């Protein structure tokens, strides 16, 4: 099988594109013909098709379900270690605090004075 050059392939692409454009024009002409027949048959006007005036603006209803929920507020820091790690005092204790308590420190040592 002979190898094709870049130029040969480009010419083939151009020929295929021209054939595709010609076929599309033919199909569009046929579709327009069928649309015109339907318009004549049913006596439709441009306004019936939404072409005689600007299309109405569809406004979205404000539904509570569609609104994004606000992000929860961060709890204030209640405990902090020397490395700057923090805990708000809610939920499971972080590992750094559990390790410190096991090492003999007290919870009050890490309490942030508010």
Question: Is 61 part of any domain?
Answer: no
Per the CB < 8 A criterion, the answer to whether 87 and 78 are in contact is yes
Tell me, yes or no, whether 2 and 47 share the same domain.
yes
Tell me, yes or no, whether 42 and 88 share the same domain.
no
For 17-41, the pLDDT digits (tens) are: 999 999 999 999 999 999 999 998 9
Q: Residue 110: how many CB atoms within 10 A of its CB?
A: 19
Question: Is 71 part of any domain?
Answer: no
Question: Is 2 part of any domain?
Answer: yes
Question: Is 12 part of any domain?
Answer: yes
Cβ neighbours for 48, distance < 8 A, ≥ 6 positions apart: none
Q: How far apart are CA 83 and CA 97, in angstroms?
A: 11
pTM for the structure as a whole: 0.39
Tell me, yes or no, whether 45 and 85 share the same domain.
no
Question: Is 59 part of any domain?
Answer: no
Question: Is 29 part of any domain?
Answer: yes
Evaluate if residue 43 carries a pLDDT over 70: yes
Rg (CA), the chain: 36
Structure tokens at 16: 């295929």
60 DSSP assignment: P
Where in the sequence is the domain holding 91, given as residue range(s)? Answer: 79-110
Evaluate if residue 65 carries a pLDDT over 70: no
Evaluate if residue 15 carries a pLDDT over 90: yes
How many domains, in total, are found in the chain? 2
Task: Please tell me the least confidently modeled range out of 39-43, 69-73, 106-110.
Answer: 69-73
């Amino acid at each position: 099988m002979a190898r094709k050059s870049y130029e040969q392939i480009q010419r083939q692409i151009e020929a295929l594109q021209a054939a595709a454009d010609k076929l599309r024009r033919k199909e569009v002409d046929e579709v327009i013909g069928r649309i015109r027949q339907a318009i004549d048959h049913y006596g439709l006007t441009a306004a019936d098709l939404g072409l005689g005036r600007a299309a109405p603006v569809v406004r979205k209803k404000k539904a509570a379900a569609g609104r994004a929920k606000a992000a929860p507020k961060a709890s204030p820091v209640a405990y902090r270690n020397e490395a700057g790690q923090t805990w708000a005092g809610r939920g499971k204790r972080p590992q750094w605090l559990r390790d410190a308590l096991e090492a003999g420190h007290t919870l009050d040592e890490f309490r942030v004075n508010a």
